[in-house]
Amino acid sequence: MAESRSPQPAPVEAWITGIGLATSLGEGPEAHWQALQAGTINVDETTFKPYVVHPLAPVSFDAQIPKKGDQRQMEAWQRIGTYAAGLALASAGIKGNADILARTDMIVAAGGGERDLTVDSGILNTEMQGNAAPGFLNERLMSDLRPTLFLAQLSNLLAGNIAIVHGVTGSSRTFMGEEAAGFDAARVALARIASGQSDIALIGAAHNGERKDLLMLYEFGHFALKAPFRPVWARGADSNSGFALGSGGVFLVVESKEHAEARGAKPFARLSAVVADHARRKSGGEVTATLERLWNRLGAGKAAAIITGATGAEPATAEEKAFLAAHAGTPVRATATRFGHLVEAQFPLGLALAALSLSRGELFAPNDPTGVEVASLTAPSQIVVVGTGHWRGEGMALVEAVR
Amino acid sequence: MTATRDTFGRPVVVVTGMGIVTSLGAGKDDNWARLVAGRSGIRTISRFPTDGLRTTMAGTVDFLKVEPFSSTDLSEKLADLAAEEAIAQAGIGAKGDFPGPLFLAVAPVEVEWPQREELARAVTRGAEITYDSLLEATAKGDYPHYHRRFLFGSVADALAETFGTKGSPISLSTACASGATAIQLGVEAIRRGETDAALCVGTDGSVNPEALIRFSLLSALSTQNDPPEAAVRPFAKNRDGFVMAEGAGALVLESLDAATARGAKILGVVTGCGELADSFHRTRSSPDGKPIIGCIRNALDDAGLAPEQIDYINAHGTGTPENDKMEYLGVSTVFGDHTTKIPVSSNKSMVGHTLSAAGAVEAVFSLLTLEHQRIPPTINYDVPDPAIPFDVVPNVARDARVTTVMSNSFGFGGQNATLILTGEPA
């Protein structure tokens, strides 16, 4: 990036004041903390056999999406996200606060496109039997697609549903692009707050990993993990590399310190910096070098810990391991072992767990037989969140304790 | 001496390069000539069978060949052409080395029917086609190119490589406001001082059977198929829906400081951006018009302008009964008595609705309007709607003094974005 030459006013400090979490480990910060400390992993090796997924723990959508009509207008990924967004707003103490919500900026990282599998396979069966007249596809789609399915597939309609259900209307932007969408959402939201372009933002993402159409997309590249489940650091570069898709929604409320203090909100942590890059990955070592550059730009100190969204996809994860090896002594935790891969939501998940850890004054327990993760007894004052996209995108954030 | 900061002390953001592709053709010259001649790019669809469809026309870009067809491949080609034209005009950086980030408005990406059918053919003969058997065929097969192609970030990844943009490229969707949002993100990055330049592109190559049927099932499309060029009728009483179309628009944005320092020709200024989300309904605007009103006011405030200072509105003007009514309500509430004095025309009457690209395509047309001091018409305007008494520049282009243009974009999911563009730095 071109460096700025114009003298800028001192950046505004940004706090994470709300966390909304609904994943395979349950919902809410407390349940997540207990599950992490207990080493719980919720993995399903049979429903999508041979593929491994981390299914969403049961939640009562009614609690955050009271109108059944709204729920019916959404596919699972939108329901999960709208639910988690409601939890984040409640956590920040702004749920139902029309005045603040009307000027809350929203950046959602989204995929989309949940298919109607029955419609697809019905059409393909007829086509493959050679019975399809010209225009057959049109006729079947016209009669079989639910008119509102499109709205449940559109990427920006997670944000749209959050606006409708929770009244967040300051602005609404949806970033796409897998893992990178997650760190760019945080990066742009922070840049806007730091420069005074925005006071408060809702950022996050949702992912439904229990989808055969999505498994297909990643299996095209042979990235979908097949049973048996193994922790991400134990997957290695052999035939059992790759990621298990996970389900979950993660949202954060980020606001300027001044805005938070004026309304008496307490911070979980400070979001100090988010940086990202896009290595071409044409030759070995580019990812490692990019992560090292991002680390240097963050300026983390020796007391830092790392929470990474390392996917298990190769060669990206091997390159990330090389980066981590250069920082041996810094405690590491991988979200993919515990939650699976939430793609767009993986980086927001890292931010949420970093903020949670810092607010509790300890890093959660290691869960790794290979020795990459070791117990840490010192209270972290800084946590670096790392996101290495399975195919493209490198991102990093510095989250710090507010003392 | 021109001020390089605006009235709020922010860097002035200028346009130094523009590129455009629509159903009217490739490049600014052809597009502008045909646009001001009132030519329509809407035609009967020949890309796929239209048997059984209620709508059989679209603003397809048929002069770019994509075999086998995928909307994502076409979107990439369209964006490539537009970005190449914009960067060439700007004369910025070196080939494959654009000195700033990419903001790309692009339609959500998904595996499409030709590819799904290819997989189905790979399933063991006689076996039932289910997603399980498709997954088996996928696992046994060799389809890494489909992983690359159908990632949501795939078009931006390809553009970032071709043009050498810097940093993490952003793919975004705010539905039919996406093109305007891409420009807004670029403006904000330059105002923050993060970069001196940004490449902002909107692209859409979505005319495939399922995409058309999705909009058709929502009753959003015109069914006035014959003749196709008369289908889009913005602000007319006999309007009955929008027409899907393809295209791309690209802008090179720079800080005025940087553009001046390298002696670049300045094509226009992005003086203001506004947005506001609507929480009323997934596809309809709040009946009180407040979100659109607020969006327009936000853009005026951001530009530091009063409504009277706008002398042309490049309307969203899709030609759906609902949009055009709501756009009139929003504009007339903000502009009051001034409303009927401002020409308001819809490029979509000719190029159709380029969806994710529309905000960028229409920003390019707005800047060409400023350059040529000529307002493109709203064609197919034969039956005025008395409820929408805009001066729509009916059917024939008009020479006019234009210094400041407002361009509106609204989309499903409560998306509203407005840009304000001027010809020269103040």
Mean pLDDT score across all residues of chain B: 97
Q: Quick check: B185 and A188 CB within 8 A? A: yes
Mean pLDDT within B291-305: 98
- pLDDT at position A8 is 60
Cβ contact, residue pair B280, A113, below 8 Å: no
Q: What does the pLDDT look like over B337-354, one tens digit per residue?
A: 999 999 999 999 999 999
Which pLDDT value is given to residue B178?
A: 98
Give the confidence band of B426 by pLDDT, cuts at 50, 70, 90: low
Catalytic entry in B176, B200, B273, B295: B176
Q: How far is CA B16 from CA A207, A269, B197, B250, in A?
A: 39, 41, 10, 11
Does the pLDDT value for residue A377 go beyond 90?
no
Q: Please tell me the predicted confidence (pLDDT) of residue A132.
A: 85
B108·A222 Cβ contact <8 A: no
Alpha-carbon span A360 to A358, nearest angstrom? 5
Rounded average pLDDT over B117-137: 95
Domains plus CATH for chain B? 14-110+150-422 (3.40.47.10), 114-149 (no CATH)
Query: For residues B273 and B418, what is the distance between their CA atoms, to the nearest angstrom?
Result: 6
Task: Using alpha carbons, select from A115, A94, A112, A123 the residue that is nearest to residue A159.
Answer: A112
- Give mean pLDDT, residues B251-275: 98
Q: Is B176 a catalytic residue?
A: yes
Residues 225-284 on A with a CB inside 8 Å of B are: 276-278, 280
Q: What does pLDDT average to over chain A?
A: 95
Average pLDDT score over residue span B87-100: 98
pLDDT for the residue A308 = 98
Q: What is the mean pLDDT of residues B321-335?
A: 98
Chains A, B: CB pairs < 8 Å? 265
| Predicted pLDDT of residue A302 | 80
Q: What is the mean pLDDT of residues A251-270?
A: 98
Tell me the two tokens of residue A32: 């997540």
- Give the span between the Cα atoms of B145 and B151, in whole angstroms: 10
Quote the CA–CA distance of A291 and B250 in Å, as a whole number.
Answer: 31
Q: Which residue of A has its CA nearest to B190?
A: A4
A133: pLDDT confidence band, cut at 50, 70 and 90? confident
- Indicate the DSSP class of residue B10: P
Strand positions, DSSP E, A146-195: 171-176
ipTM of the modeled complex: 0.98
- On the question of pLDDT at A7 being above 50, the answer is no
List of chain A residues whose C-beta atoms are within 8 Å of the C-beta of residue B188: 192, 197
Contacts of A156 in chain B (CB under 8 A): 173-175, 411-413, 415
* Spatial separation of the C-alpha atoms in residues A139 and B315, rounded to whole Å: 35
The predicted structure's pLDDT at residue B125: 86
CB contact under 8 A, A278 and B194: no
Per-residue b or e along A114-152, where b marks 16 or more CB atoms closer than 10 Å to that residue's CB: bbbeebbbebbbbbbeeebeebbbbbbbbeebeebbbbb
Domain ranges in chain A?
Answer: 14-116+147-400
A277-310 tens-digit pLDDT: 999 999 999 999 999 999 999 988 887 899 999 9
Four-point Cα dihedral A43, A246, B73, B414, nearest 10: 150
pLDDT at B117 over 90: yes
- pLDDT of A2 strictly over 50: no
- What share of chain A has pLDDT > 90, as a percent? 91
Cβ–Cβ of A220/B100 closer than 8 Å?
Answer: no
Q: Tens of pLDDT along A71-107?
A: 999 999 999 999 999 999 999 999 999 999 999 999 9
> What is the pLDDT, as a whole number, of residue A1?
38
From chain A, the residues in CB contact with B277 under 8 A are 106, 159, 163, 168-172
pLDDT for res B407: 98
Active site residue B353: yes
Parallel/antiparallel/unpaired status of strands A394-400 and B43-44 = unpaired
Percent of chain A with pLDDT over 70: 97
- For residue A3, the model assigns a pLDDT of 36
- The arithmetic mean of pLDDT across residues A225-231, rounded, is 96
The per-residue pLDDT for range A34-77, each reduced to its tens digit, is 999 999 999 999 999 999 999 999 999 999 999 999 999 999 99
**Is-contact B354 B361, C-beta < 8 A?**
yes
Bridge partners, residue A356, by sequence: none
pLDDT of residue A113: 78
> Domain A14-116+147-400 is classified in which CATH homologous superfamily?
Thiolase/Chalcone synthase (3.40.47.10)
What confidence category does residue A10 fall into, taking pLDDT thresholds of 50, 70 and 90?
confident
Instruction: Please give the residue that has the higher pLDDT: either A113 or B173.
Output: B173
